[in-house]
Amino acid sequence: MDTVVSGIRSTGNLHLGNYFGAVKNFLKMQKENNCFFFIADYHSLTTHPRPDDLHGNIKQVLAEYLACGIDPEIATVFVQSDVPEVTELYLLLNMNAYVGELERTTSFKEKIRKHPDNINAGLLTYPVLMAADIIIHKAHKVPVGKDQEQHLEMTRRFARRFNMIYEVNYFPEPDAYNFGQELIKIPGLDGTGKMGKSEGNGIFLADSPADIRKKVMRAVTDAGPSAPGQEPSEPVKNLFTIMDVVSDQETVKYFREKHAVCEIRYGDLKKQLAEDIVRATEPIRIRINDILKDDKYLAKVVSDGADKARASASKTIREVREIIGYRPF
């Protein structure tokens, strides 16, 4: 079985885009691979969360992933900071990571542009910690979206470099893993592209039906098609794309045809879309709330996950120390 590693940052709630674009694939992956799914809470420190928020953020994301169907009986589900071995590998990899290559990373340059007031060294070495997360379990495959491709490329480079420097064939170079399909990109509701966390754009799995209805009814559309057969405008196309994943095919076909003959009423489309989103997310939302109340269950998941992850990570650290040249006295 191949080993799969994926980290989930504990910043913000899961939205429909995360679910249909990533998590649904995890559910298939966990059956066919040795999966490590973890909450990347060390990584979340780069943006300085407050101590009062940290634990709640981790708990929320954990509950959401479990509610989606990530199964801690088959996959190893853990919290990154419960496996401090990763920080040792991070330190060791840092010795062979060059400041120049880290400074050239797109995500780092982006951060400098957006948050010039907080360019900490954790941001600079973010890809090194991510590489440590992945290769500490000697992963073969990493499910990543477009925005993480460069980080994965750097992971491959750090693994290769370690093997070269120490003349070993120790770390496998992990590949991106998306089931060979194009990833589904879920657009947002404000007509501007990908679903994200910004106001008015995203629908969260934890949203109540009332919230979902309100958000969908406010979604951006247009003045309506002016000629038969006209291509829907970007914001309307986005609504159809969401409909494609939550509604049945008949429904989508019905509204597309109405659009094509200029008889569409966006109010009806939105009402239908809202109900179908509620139907698709309601069971998950209920499970999220049940799991959040079950502290005993969460504690067991986290502690079993930490045991399994530490067993794998500490074996790697032992071997890496040996390769680097540490010897017992």
**Cα separation of 290 and 241, whole Å?**
30
For the CB of residue 139, give the shortest distance to ligand TRP in the complex, in Å: 8
Cβ closest to ligand TRP, residue 58 vs residue 142: 142
- Smallest distance from ligand TRP to CB 273, Å: 28
Catalytic member of 24, 138, 185, 197:
197
CA distances from 184 to 25, 178, 270, 328 (A): 10, 10, 21, 51
C-beta closer to ligand TRP: residue 37 or 255? 37
Is 6 or 281 the residue whose CB approaches ligand TRP more closely?
6
Per CB under 6 A, 242 contacts ligand TRP: no
Q: Tell me the C-alpha distance between 5 and 151, whole Å.
A: 14
By CB under 6 A, residue 6 contacts ligand TRP: yes
In contact, 11 and 134? CB cutoff 8 Å: no
Do 186 and 17 contact (CB within 8 A), yes or no? yes
Residues 262-301 interacting with ligand TRP (rule: CB under 6 A):
none
Residue 266's identity, in one-letter code, is Y
Q: Give the SS3 label for residue 194.
A: strand
Does residue 197 carry a catalytic annotation? yes
Say which DSSP state 46 is in.
G
Which 41-60 residues touch ligand TRP, going by CB under 6 A? Answer: 43
By CB under 6 A, tell whether 9 contacts ligand TRP: yes
By CB under 6 A, is residue 309 in contact with ligand TRP? no
CB of 296 to ligand TRP, least distance (A): 28
Map 225-291 to HEC letters: CCCCCCCCCHHHHHHHHHHHHHCCHHHHHHHHHHHHCCCCCHHHHHHHHHHHHHHHHHHHHHHHHHH
Q: How far apart are CA 184 and CA 250, in angstroms?
A: 20
- Residue nearest ligand TRP by beta-carbon distance: 7
Residues 194, 258, 271, 315: which is the catalytic one? 194
Instruction: Give the range of 6-14, 24-32, 161-169, 244-252 binding ligand TRP by CB under 6 A.
Output: 6-14
Within 111-170, the residues that bind ligand TRP by CB under 6 A are: 130, 133-134, 142, 144, 148, 151
Nearer to ligand TRP, 15 or 151 (CB): 151
Residue 7 within binding range of ligand TRP, rule CB under 6 A: yes
Query: Minimum distance between the CB of residue 52 and ligand TRP, rounded to whole angstroms?
Result: 23
Write out the H or E segment, with its range, that includes residue 314: helix 295-324
Residue 5 sits in the site that holds ligand TRP (CB under 6 A): yes
Q: How many residues are there in the chain?
A: 329
> Does residue 85 touch ligand TRP according to CB under 6 A?
no
Structure token digits, residue 115: 């948050």
Q: Which of residues 24-43 bind ligand TRP (CB under 6 A)?
A: 40, 43
**Residue 302: closest CA among 39, 34, 14, 6:** 39
What is the binding site for ligand TRP (CB under 6 A)?
5-7, 9, 40, 43, 130, 133-134, 142, 144, 148, 151
Residues known to be catalytic: 111, 194, 197
